Structure 1
Amino acid sequence: MTRYTMRLFSTLCVMAGGLLSALFFSTTAMGQSKPNIVFILVDDLGNADVGFNGSTYYETPNIDSLAGSGLVIENAYMYPTCSPSRTALATGKQSFRTGVYTVPVLEKGNDQQNIFSRWTVGEEHTMYSQPLADAGYKSIHIGKWHLVGPYPKEELAMEFPLKEKLRQPDPWDFSWVSYHKEYCQKYYPEGRGYLKNVGGTYRGDPALEVGGYQSKTGGYFAPFSNPFIEPKPDDQWLTDRLTNEAIEFIDQHSEGPFFINLHYYTVHRPIRGRSEKLVEKYLKKSGDPITGQGTGKGKLKRTEAEYATMIESLDENVGRLVKFLDENGLRDNTLIVFTSDNGQNVGRNDQLRGKKGYIYEGGIRVPTFVNWPGKVDARRTSTAVTGLDLFPTFMDVAGIKYDGVLDGQSITGLFQGEPESLRTRPLFWHLASCYKHGACSVIRKNDLKLIQFLADGKLEMYDLTNDPREQRNLAETNPEQTQSLLKELVDWRESNDVPLPPGSVLQ
């Protein structure tokens, strides 16, 4: 064999070896190309209700550890109530596309002040679970659903816009159950690509007993009255049971890819102390003078302590779930997303204005992080992100080319960088019905936030960097910036044919 032949043979061997190595790596990569996803959505958890955002009263060591090794999104936003937030998350669409503007039973005013909200998300709106299922994901929905109304067939047959707001039965009225189980599954998780639904109903809270919020268990202590939770002998506490379901499903589908839609009912009212021992612990604990957490007196002090035990229980269960992933070698190929559907309701945060129901920061800014070992840098980002971004992010992570209408952007670029396209884009809200305040449209861009109330056109503008509590309305003192943002907001409405309440002066 000549030297040239030997060199050629050696080169071919190296190339063949490299090709085999590449094929092996490609096969391995293909096996891991669709990572597992765990989406933890907490109900009514305020931005400062966790240690990683500064709370010294509430105790969240497991959540803080996960956040500390992941990407904390300091300016993460939702709608101010659960129905539009959960609809936007599930569909990736703005409220004006789905007609879900708030929780229907909460609306105030008449049909001139409101475009009364829909409740049921129609089949024409694809949810992220459906393309994930098509791509091979084994998915489960656990906990709060709230994407179907009590009477979906009648609701969807109504002429919109409605003349009156939608209603719901009393919590202990189960006359809807057989109708839902027999005829309405297409509006439930199983009709949306999930293999199983544990606990998801039309209800926005777990209190399905006689008395509702005034009942003894509040839906958090067993026996649960939820018709979509099958009783088990070891049932004690709802948050524990829902976590058990997540762990059991992961164990059954550990080969992956799996998607866990873990949407806890906690910390939504009614507030219940996890145990008297834990309540006493927080009653004795000093409050936080910066946020105001734990500084109440009398009955309020006890409510705050009970609320704190619900947060501690949440943290304990997140820790259990992560421990299971770790012990079973699943963490490295699992993206965990943690957030809340709106700002605090029972909780308190004196650093931000407003709470659940308000378009101010306390109502829409939520505690959020993503964690994925080796794929997400451990840091904090001030880039603003919205719940609308999660649908395209899930598609991006799963390698799915989705061509449906989406109003958000994938945030995978933030995992290890700061893309200009995310950092400088505007965020929009449109609330066409009234709850805590009048209907309004909002734009947030470059840390400036402009609110236009739709009834009379009144404007409010705030500098969120220098005035996070939104105390100084700059709409009149900074007319140039105000008009620039207003033009962008109006252009957005007009280009998207966004509807206004009939009585709006902006018609």
Structure 2
Amino acid sequence: MKQILISLFLFSFCLQAKSPNFIMIYFDDLGWADTAVEMIPGDAGSRSDFYQTPNIVKLAEGGMVFSSAYAPSPVCTPSRNSVQHGMTPARMLNAVLHSEAASKEYRGVITIPQALKKANPNYISAHFGKWHIPSLTPTKAGYEVTDGPTGNGEGDYLDDMRTHLPEDDPKRMVSLTDKTIKFIEDQNKADKPFFVQLSHYAVHIWHDSFAETREKYKKLAKSNRAEAHDYFPDSEITESMYKHNWIINYASMVDDMDAQLGRILERLDELKIADNTYVIITGDNGGGMRNNGRLSGSKGDLTEGGIRVPFIVRGPKVKANAYTSVPTAGWDILATFYDLAGGTEALPPEVEGGSLKNVLAKGDKASVERNLRDFVFYFPWYNGEPESALISGKYKILKNLDTKVVQLFDLSKDVSEGNDIANQMPEKTVEMEKTLDNYIKKVKAEDLMDLRIGYLDRMTKLWIPNTDREIIENKKLMEQGDARGKKEYERLTGYRKWMEGEIKFTVERAKMHGKDLSHYLKL
């Protein structure tokens, strides 16, 4: 009888226990040192000296900062796909922006919404903002509420993809936050546990911000990243500068995005659900606006600047005002949410990430159990520098897939990757390279040369012919005095020339692999 009573008590307790909520704010292209929070305590080079992010600071003060957090990839699509599935981009067959292989062979076994449903069928999931996973729609991934399979364009245009966004909603920051808050309110009213991912279009190009925020930054002390043109009169700020390389605009955009985070945190307090809600902020890849603090490289490569990102978590039983040096990657998020939501059944073996639950409570005293022990990064960039990398403990190797050059770094002493110690530790370098190459081979990741040939085919058979037709059409308009036709003609001829350069570069790189693709030069 006593055992039965105990069992009934435990069962009743489980029914009454309220499942936690999850909010993930996913920033686009936000650099590791692009906030006012030091990513490494006491290291001024790991934060911005100019961008003001008081709400991210507030989140960090109430939660935990991961000093060694990595995006799965140095570009968006592979990272986003990896995060949803808890698997590396290499295993997902989606290691670069082009995702034809992943569309033909979908390798996902479970997504975040599906994992939460597995933990508790009452969970409701929503996704707002940039999706950018061509091989999978949000609905198929299990999101009940979504604004669709969006890409980059929605961050600059209204739904007609022609009309620029209004000045009172730059990068849709306000409207996305409105949707997020509405979803939170609806689920709270329905007494449903929820997960919402707000994937900002900011701070990806084209940069945009509120005019009043820009006026604020013009009056602040100059950043160490500032250049002379940043303080030209507005009349001398060109459209290209405004959209791509004006630090006043970029700083304002970061600030405006932070303000929207503040609205969400404030609403959680008003609804009295902050204590039962995990809020996580992170990014899809490294940044590239001027520099990444003391990290080398930027978006588009596997240096620390290309893949190390901000990662801050606040929520129930998370140590407050804390830092941890325990490394994590985006593929840990699925397993972490599942564990925190009360999931007990084992996740599919293909899931490579591990739960951060113990780390959130104990910091550096805890560790993470993963099916994939080391951190493997694979980026067969067909129109740039193709790379792979492996992080094992304090060591990292970085391999160029064309030249086969392998570098070794001790990240515990050299986070800037300025001291290659491969020649000093040849056995360690060979051991790690073998582990890296074996993994890429084991998961049957995309082949670099297959990707290059596909790239050349798309340019020569589709993009160039289409561009040539548009050049002819706009040349006629230009000759008739049409200003827009002239602008388009100049843009398209520049694009045509760029593609010619891409073909030459790709053909030359193919020679490093013993491949003669020179016939593409004649097309």
Q: TM-score, normalised by structure 1?
A: 0.75
Secondary structure, aligned partner of 2:297: coil
Q: Measure the CA separation in 1 of the matches of 2:423 and 2:414.
A: 16
User: After superposition, what is the alpha-carbon deviation per residue over 1:286-307, rounded to whole angstroms, capped at 9, x for unaligned?
Assistant: 2333xx3677644569711111
Residue number in structure 2 paired with 1:247: 181
Where 1:52 maps in the other structure, the secondary structure is coil
Q: Which amino acid aligns with 1:284?
A: K
Query: What is the SS of the residue equivalent to 1:51?
Result: coil
Q: Which letter does structure 1 place at the counterpart of 2:195?
A: F
Distance (Å, rounded) in 2 between the aligned partners of 1:34 and 1:506: 57
**How many residue pairs end up in the alignment?**
426
Distance in 1, matches of 2:338 and 2:114, equals: 11
Q: How far apart, in 1, do the equivalents of 2:97 and 2:222 lie?
A: 32
1:258 aligns with 2:243: no
Q: Does 1:446 align with 2:393?
A: yes
Give the superposition deviation at 1:363.
Answer: 0.8
| CA deviation map 1:255-308 (0-9, x unaligned) | 121111111111111011212x2212212222333xx36776445697111111
8 Å CA contact 1:377, 1:416 repeated in 2: no
- Mapped to 2, the partners of 1:343 and 1:390 lie a distance apart of 18
SS at match of 1:39: strand
Corresponding residue for residue 88 of structure 1: 82
Q: 1:453-468 alignment to 2 at 5 Å? A: 453-468=400-415
- For residue 279 of structure 2, the aligned residue among 332, 336, 339 is 336
One-letter amino acid of the structure 2 residue matched with residue 434 of structure 1: Y
Q: CA shift at 1:63, angstroms?
A: 1.0
Aligned to 1:489: 436
The 3-state SS of whatever aligns with 1:472 is coil
- Relative distance call for 1:375 and 1:367 in structure 2 (3 A) is closer
Partners of 2:76 and 2:145 in 1: how far apart?
A: 22
Answer with 334-343 or 348-357: which moved more.
Answer: 348-357
The amino acid across from 1:248 in the alignment is K
Distance in 2, matches of 1:491 and 1:122, equals 22
Match of 2:111 in 1: 127
Shift of 1:200: 4.0
In structure 1, C-alpha distance between the alignment counterparts of 2:206 and 2:171, rounded to whole Å: 14
> 305-314 or 476-485: which moved more?
476-485
SS at match of 2:56: helix
Match of 1:433 in 2: 381
- The letter of the residue matching 1:272 is D
TM-score (norm 2): 0.73
Equivalent residues in 2 for 1:57-456 (5 A)? 57-78=50-71, 79-104=73-98, 118=102, 122=106, 125-133=109-117, 135-148=121-134, 187-198=136-147, 200-203=149-152, 206-208=155-157, 217=164, 219=165, 221=167, 238-254=172-188, 255-275=191-211, 277-289=212-224, 292=225, 297=230, 298=232, 299=237, 303-346=246-289, 348-400=291-343, 401-404=345-348, 405-417=350-362, 418-421=365-368, 425-438=373-386, 440-456=387-403
Name the CA shift for 1:339/1:431 in 2 (closer, same or farther; >3 Å): same
The separation in 2 between residues aligned to 1:453 and 1:236, in whole angstroms, is 38
Larger relative contact order, structure 1 or 2 (CA cutoff 8 Å, min sep 6): 1
- Identity among equivalent positions (%) equals 28
Return the structure number with greater helix share. 2
Q: 2-side partners of 1:444 and 1:348: how far apart?
A: 22
- 1:122 Cα deviation from its structure 2 partner: 3.6
Distance in 2 between residues matched to 1:506 and 1:365, nearest whole Å: 34
Q: Is the 8 A contact 1:70 1:371 kept in 2?
A: yes
Q: Distance in 2 between matches of 1:236 and 1:473?
A: 42
CA shift, 1:123, in A, is 7.8
Please give the secondary structure, in 2, of the residue aligned with 1:359: coil
Residue 430 of structure 2 aligns with an amino acid whose one-letter code is Q
Distance in 2 between residues matched to 1:487 and 1:210, nearest whole Å: 48
Shift of 1:321: 0.5
After TM superposition, give the deviation of residue 221 of structure 1 in Å: 4.0
Give, in whole Å, the separation in 1 of the partners of 2:13 and 2:251: 44
Q: In structure 1, give the amino acid aligned to 2:76.
A: C
Alignment of 1:44 with 2:38, yes or no, is: no
**1:209 Cα deviation from its structure 2 partner:** 6.3
CA distance, structure 2, for counterparts of residue 385 and residue 25 of structure 1: 34
Map Cα deviations across residues 208-238 of structure 1 (whole Å, 9 max, x no partner). 46998xx883x4646xxxxxxxxxxxx6771
- What is the CA distance between 1:28 and its match in structure 2? 4.9
| Range moving further from structure 2, 59-68 or 374-383 | 374-383
